[in-house]
């Protein structure tokens, strides 16, 4: 983009776009690795990654090359044809996914992945109710919104929603009690780390108990790994940390390093019950998305980037150990519980050239740094954060 400073780019968007986003008062022109540059040439360190998306930093070369090459050959054709890019992306994804996930259904976003996972639960079980968790966040289209706990987002549309109930996150007994009294439950959907809810974690045993309870009551267990997946927490899927397997894993965000994509992973025993037309989308598995996805996964795999995610977390843990800041999350999905309001801290860090984010919990800020972020950058960030808080 040419940096035409005579054009007011903020005013341009404000004039022509529906105003549904709160935005930083900044115009970014380009990104490079973990950095973003604004129209005045100011450099920012991006520890937020466009909301947990830029897992490899900005404009990673392998992904640029893959999109460029593919765009010269065939930009798009729908699922009525076979194409090498889609097959290769699917193969790489299944190779990197935990054992037992044999098939993928591609789509275009996180909410769409959850929407399709919920449809699968209805179809496979023949039952109608979905159970979600208090504080859970799963998307903005109707089925995904129905399992998103936020009353502000959900309640205005409740007249159009399926049967959904919420149980406390991290409390397996509450789930058991609910399922013992309700025989209409098709699926239980959880984020393994509740990100927007302040990177809320549960005990390891919770996930194993949930697995056993869902089996006992014939309920499909859906892991929304839209934030935790693709290696961000140090393993491809969070479930690998806790030695259990959900029935379905949903992915999006990091999966193509910034190119829009979503995916639903499932075992053969579920995929085998699907027939033509059960799920679908025009753009799903498009050539550019597939090429970007395969390149992203390849880069993560061959460079062993997943192994770096725990180092990022541990570096921050060490750097903040003598402070009142409490660190939550895993790998490169991190919540920081502050002794002050997070919003003010995030704003001040922004002025100092650091991009971070808030959460739905007033005193918890979040960072979702690219998994390539050097530990030295994390140490510098910790110093800056401590300084901001002390003031
Ligand atoms: C855990 C989780 N699930 C689902 C979604 C929805 O993804 P998308 O915005 O791509 O529809 C999000 C988005 O922030 C998310 O954080």
Which of 52, 135, 138, 195 to mutate to test ligand 1, by most ligand atoms within 8 A of the CB atom?
Answer: 138
Residue written as tokens 């994390």? Answer: 378
Share of the chain above pLDDT 90, in %: 97
Q: How many domains are contained in the chain? A: 2
The CA 277 to ligand 1 mean position distance, Å, reads 25
CATH code, domain carrying 189: 3.40.640.10
Say if residue 65 is in the same domain as residue 196: yes
Q: How large is the average pLDDT for residues 170-175?
A: 98
| Domain end residue (candidates: 254, 277, 302) | 302
Model confidence band, residue 174 (pLDDT cutoffs 50, 70, 90): very high
Q: How large is the average pLDDT for residues 364-371?
A: 98
Please tell me the distance from the alpha carbon of residue 135 to that of residue 148, in angstroms, as a whole number: 8
Q: Does residue 226 line the site of ligand 1, with CB under 6 A?
A: yes
- Give per-residue pLDDT as tens, 281-290: 999 999 999 9
Q: What are phi and psi of 216, to 5 degrees?
A: -60, -35
- Give per-residue pLDDT as tens, 247-269: 999 999 999 999 999 999 999 99
Model confidence band, residue 7 (pLDDT cutoffs 50, 70, 90): confident
Q: Is residue 206 part of a domain?
A: yes
Question: Domain span at residue 347?
Answer: 9-60+305-390
The CA 378 to ligand 1 mean position distance, Å, reads 25
Say if residue 201 is in the same domain as residue 327: no
Say if residue 162 is in the same domain as residue 204: yes
Q: How large is the average pLDDT for residues 350-377?
A: 98
Q: Does residue 113 line the site of ligand 1, with CB under 6 A?
A: no
Q: Is residue 4 part of a domain?
A: no
- Give per-residue pLDDT as tens, 63-116: 999 999 999 999 999 999 999 999 999 999 999 999 999 999 999 999 999 999
Q: How large is the average pLDDT for residues 133-151?
A: 98
Q: Is the pLDDT of residue 2 over 60?
A: no
Q: How large is the average pLDDT for residues 351-377?
A: 98
Say if residue 282 is in the same domain as residue 383: no
Model confidence band, residue 5 (pLDDT cutoffs 50, 70, 90): low
Model confidence band, residue 4 (pLDDT cutoffs 50, 70, 90): low
Q: Is residue 3 part of a domain?
A: no
CA angle 302, 304, 307 (to 5 degrees): 170
| Domain end residue (candidates: 258, 277, 302) | 302
What pLDDT, on a 0 to 100 scale, did the predictor assign at position 6? Answer: 74
38 contacts 23 by C-beta, under 8 angstroms: no
Q: Does residue 164 line the site of ligand 1, with CB under 6 A?
A: no
- Give per-residue pLDDT as tens, 10-26: 999 999 999 999 898 89
Say if residue 361 is in the same domain as residue 325: yes
Q: Is the pLDDT of residue 1 over 70?
A: no
Dihedral class, residue 135 (left if φ above 0, else alpha if ψ from -120 to 50, else beta) = left
């Amino acid at each position: 983009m040419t940096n035409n400073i005579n054009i007011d780019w903020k005013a341009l968007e404000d004039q022509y776009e529906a105003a549904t986003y709160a935005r930083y008062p900044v115009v970014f022109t380009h990104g490079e690795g973990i950095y973003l540059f604004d129209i005045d040439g100011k450099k920012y360190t991006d520890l937020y990654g466009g909301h947990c998306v830029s897992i490899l930093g900005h404009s990673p070369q392998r992904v640029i090359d893959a999109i460029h090459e593919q765009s010269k050959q065939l930009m798009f054709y729908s699922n009525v044809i076979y194409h090498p890019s889609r097959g290769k992306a699917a193969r790489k994804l299944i190779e990197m996914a935990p054992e037992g996930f044999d098939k993928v259904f591609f789509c275009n976003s996180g909410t769409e992945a959850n929407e399709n996972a919920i449809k699968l639960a209805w179809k496979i079980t023949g039952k109608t109710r979905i159970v979600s968790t208090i504080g859970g966040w799963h998307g903005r289209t109707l089925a995904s919104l129905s399992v998103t706990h936020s009353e502000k987002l959900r309640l205005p549309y409740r007249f159009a929603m399926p049967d959904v109930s919420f149980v406390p996150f991290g409390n397996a007994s509450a789930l058991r009690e609910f399922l013992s009294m309700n025989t209409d439950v098709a699926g239980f959907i959880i984020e393994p780390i509740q990100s927007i809810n302040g990177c809320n974690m549960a005990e390891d045993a919770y996930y194993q108990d949930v697995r056993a309870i869902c089996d006992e009551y014939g309920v499909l267990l859906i892991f929304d790994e839209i934030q935790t997946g693709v290696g961000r927490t140090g393993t491809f899927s969070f479930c690998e940390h806790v030695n259990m397997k959900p029935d379905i894993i949903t992915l999006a965000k990091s999966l193509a390093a910034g190119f829009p994509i979503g995916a639903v992973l499932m075992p053969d025993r579920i995929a085998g019950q699907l027939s033509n037309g059960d799920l679908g989308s025009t753009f799903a598995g498009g050539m550019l998305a597939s090429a970007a996805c395969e390149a992203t996964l390849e880069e993560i795999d061959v460079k062993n980037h997943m192994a770096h995610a725990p180092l990022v977390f541990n570096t921050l843990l060490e750097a903040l150990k003598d402070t009142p800041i409490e660190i939550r999350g895993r790998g490169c999905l991190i919540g920081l519980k502050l002794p002050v309001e997070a919003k003010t801290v995030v704003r001040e860090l922004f002025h100092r050239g650091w991009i971070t984010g808030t959460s739905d919990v007033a005193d918890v800020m979040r960072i979702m740094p690219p998994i390539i972020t050097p530990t030295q950058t994390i140490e510098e960030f910790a110093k800056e954060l401590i300084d901001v808080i002390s003031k």
